Chains A and B, each alone.
Chain A
Amino acid sequence: NAGVTQTPKFHILKIGQSMTLQCTQDMNHNYMYWYRQDPGMGLKLIYYSVGAGITDKGEVPNGYNVSRSTTEDFPLRLELAAPSQTSVYFCASSYPRAGQDGNTIYFGEGSWLTVV
């Protein structure tokens, strides 16, 4: 009963480096999301996907890229990391329709990323 799994949990990245945050879900959900959360703030949507092969920008997509080659996986890539990308990143998934499965959005445990 894994749910949404994110890796790594913690990572320190140097300015200008690139890395990929991995996210996988085993619930066969169509919708997947990436959020970032800065200290003391709410969640901001980076990218989302409504199904394999389809991705779209959220509120704060600059500096990030995503892909969705399978239903299960939704990796988030940071290119040319900057200190402003220091944050906690949450991946989430859900069914598409509002009433299905109680419309629950399942979140991963988060990935703490520091750019120095």
Chain B
Amino acid sequence: DAKTTQPNSMESNEEEPVHLPCNHSTISGTDYIHWYRQLPSQGPEYVIHGLTSNVNNRMASLAIAEDRKSSTLILHRATLRDAAVYYCILRNNAGNMLTFGGGTRLMVKP
């Protein structure tokens, strides 16, 4: 399975944009890039996903490099409620083995 690499932790100030990077140099052509986040004492929740083009939704934006070997999750204005562990994972159409890495712990300062 293709693996992802993320920084262990990042800090942000409230109301400022946050860019969370993810490297996935062994991604295959059929792998979708997914982001999930896990708030304290909760199960992970879906944030966004994409294949080749950049994606936007109400929670965040996903910027995918042209060679698809990296991606960036963008939170446009971080709030205290965005403090969580963010996981970047790859999923293909088989979709059966979902492997989570260590994720990035985002700390938001007021």
Which A residues are within 8 Å of any B CB, using their own CB? 31, 33, 35, 41-45, 48, 50, 56, 58-59, 90, 92, 94, 96-99, 102-110
Contact = CB atoms under 8 A, between A and B. Distances in A.
Contacts of B17: none
B98 interface: yes
A45 B99 contact: yes
B97 A103 contact: no
Contacts of A109: 42-43
Nearest to A108: B43
B44 A103 contact: no
B91 interface: yes
B95 interface: yes
Interface string B48-79: 01000000000000000000000000000000
B47 to A, nearest CB: 10
A110 B42 contact: yes
A50 B99 contact: no
B44 A107 contact: yes
7 contacts: A42-B103, A59-B99, A92-B44, A94-B95, A96-B96, A98-B91, A98-B95
Given A42-B103, A45-B98, A98-B32, A105 B46 contact: yes
Contacts of A35: 100
A33 B98 contact: yes
B49 A103 contact: yes
B101 interface: yes
Nearest to B105: A40
B42 A105 contact: no
Contact of A31 (B43, B46, B95, B101): B95
A50 B46 contact: no
A110 B46 CA distance: 16
Contacts of A107: 43-45
Nearest to B57: A102
Nearest to A91: B43
B99 A96 contact: no
B43 to A, nearest CB: 3
